Amino acid sequence: MNQMLQPNDVSQLEALLGDPWQSLNTTGFSAVVAADERHELLPAGETLLDQYQLNAQFVPLELGGRLASLNRLIAVMRCIFRRDPSLGLGYGASSFLAAANVWTAGHPAQQARVAAVLLSNGKLACAYHELEHGNDISRVECSAQLGQERLTLQGGKQVIANAARAQALLVYARTASGTGGRSHSQILLERTEASAGSLVDQPRYSTSGMRGIALGGVEFTQCDLPIENLVGNPGQGLETTLKAFQLTRVALPGMFSAILDTGLRLTLKHCRTRRLYNKPACELPQVRARLAESFVDLLLCDAFVSVAANAAHVVPAELNLYGSAVKALVPAVLVTAMDSLASVLGAHSYVREGEMAIFQKLLRDLQPVGFGHAARISCLMTLLPQLPMLAKTGWNSAAPAPEGLFALDWQQASLRFDRLALSSGGQDTLLAFLLTLSTQETPKGSCESEIFHLVRLFADELQALREQCAALPAQQTTARASPESFRLASRYSVLLCASACLGIWQTQQENTSDPFLAQPAWVLAVLLRLAALSGLTRQRLSAALTETLLDELTQRYLSRQSFDLARLPLAATAGWH
């Protein structure tokens, strides 16, 4: 195990959930698949998480909870997502989506109310979505008429996780006409506050993935509430949402990455026992390449998420950049990697019975990471208007990274929600670090030499991006921008990810607790994958590099360790493989 990490409640939850491969485990894969077939959330899982008091992970320390490090929260939730993403999202993460807004802009009494709901094992629902408008929350029509002492909600919300199960709802509502930045507000209400008939639950939606989550809707009819239920100031809804989303855009992809961990473990397990062409499937070169590439994809996703989560503590004013970039890049990498593993498994990737049945559920459950909460295009739209200023002020000088940005120890101070900002003001610490690295002398060693060749390739890409973004017309930084302009934001996201991976690698060379992360093989593989993604090279992982990665993957597999950067011990009995 990586001794830098302090697992505590992570290892405790992993032990409570138990060996997922055991057929009699009520929170194991067999029970998870059975609950999915019934389209219900795993009952034993909910009971266990109640006992564990998972909701305390979403409540800041000063309000009686356990939330301090964003990376620690992600690690706790991965214990659940590795087994059942529906349980992870339906029981917990959906409540965090709503609560983050209250921690960001709510007054002390509202924060205390939300903390009380969560710490008593209650649920929150985030009532943003209206089918008519999708991710365009500037056009939301559900309205709130504000008076001196009361407010009145009118209208409907659709496709809301836990809509009918939540004790409290955070409602995004129109409080002024038009589509400006001050036309909407957020309202917090507990169900007990609504008079009879003023809040009516709508029928549940059927879905192909996340089938256990009760996605429903609500209809408000003259729902009269105290004006004190307004979160923040009138018209502050969009600002609060854009700040709180910075945290959740990092956290959710980080949680969902655990799906790839299990998908990779299932595929490796299957290929070690399945024989094709008179040999184990895992010995076939094409299979080995797919396994190694998927492992690398998981590492690069985890590295980007980890650094972005650290940024929430170290450079919170820049999280609007890094959170959006994570949500724009990581989901696509995760989905592509799982699809690649599905092609290795063939028909075994969609069977709904037997040992491999959990794979098809994980494959379906992963899909919402790309479009749920905030679609990729929304994240690129957050980045696009900032690119010209970054090109002129943020990408011109090298600078060392601040302490803690690349750490893997989860030792950050508590999150400061009040330090989140809508713009980085032209600052970009991650790419300043990339520029610093690009000026360093190439170290000796063939692997290190290849790494620094790629570093300079990415530095050249940054120079090209700087020139193009500096010349970007104002009309090309809006929702009506061309596909080529949106492509600039995509290329920027890849550069940030490369810098995050390089930063972790450099930091780990000073720490001997995990030799694998200190060695160059994984970061060379990551950079090759990212360079190919940007079209900078067509070079694939070499046979030697593939074997190095597979040796590490197999060692972790046999040692029952996670495949991410943390390599934490997993609950599994002897002989499970």
Q: At what angle do helices 521-533 and 543-559 cross, to 10 degrees?
A: 120
**Separation CA 477–CA 186 (nearest Å):** 27
Look up tokens 């596909």; give the residue: 483
DSSP H or E segment with residue 160: strand 150-161
**Separation CA 491–CA 549 (nearest Å):** 26
Residue 428 · residue 318 · CB < 8 Å: yes
Q: How many CA atoms lie within 13 A of 500 on its CB side?
A: 27
Residue 114 · residue 168 · CB < 8 Å: yes
**Which overall architecture, per CATH, does domain 9-119 show?**
Orthogonal Bundle (1.10)
Residue ranges of the chain that CATH labels 1.10.540.10: 9-119
Q: At what angle do helices 357-366 and 319-345 cross, to 10 degrees?
A: 150
330 φ, ψ (degrees, to nearest 5):
-60, -45
Residue 539 · residue 528 · CB < 8 Å: yes
Distances (CA, A) of 283 to 168, 270, 275, 278, 297: 53, 12, 9, 10, 21
Per-residue tens of pLDDT for the chain, all 577 residues: 343 334 468 999 999 999 999 999 999 999 999 999 999 999 999 999 999 999 999 999 999 999 999 999 999 999 999 999 999 999 999 999 999 999 999 999 999 999 999 999 999 999 998 988 877 888 899 999 999 999 999 999 999 999 999 999 999 999 999 777 899 999 999 999 999 999 999 999 988 889 999 999 999 999 999 999 999 999 999 999 999 999 999 999 999 999 999 999 999 999 998 888 878 888 899 999 999 999 999 999 999 999 999 999 999 999 999 999 999 999 999 999 999 999 999 999 999 998 999 999 999 999 998 776 678 888 999 999 999 999 999 898 888 899 999 999 877 778 999 999 999 999 999 999 999 999 988 777 678 899 999 999 999 999 999 999 999 999 998 888 999 999 999 999 999 999 999 999 999 988 767 899 999 999 999 999 999 999 999 889 999 999 999 999 999 999 999 999 999 999 976 555 5
CA 361-340-79 angle, 5° bins: 45
DSSP designation for 166: -
Residue 211: per-residue pLDDT: 94
Residue 524 · residue 537 · CB < 8 Å: no
User: pTM surpassing 0.85?
Assistant: yes
Q: What is the 3-state secondary structure (H, E, C) of 29-40?
A: HHHHHHHHHCCC
Q: For 124-233, which CATH class?
A: mainly beta
Cα pseudo-dihedral 451, 454, 460, 465, rounded to 10: -110
Residue ranges of the chain that CATH labels 2.40.110.10: 124-233
**Separation CA 254–CA 310 (nearest Å):** 12
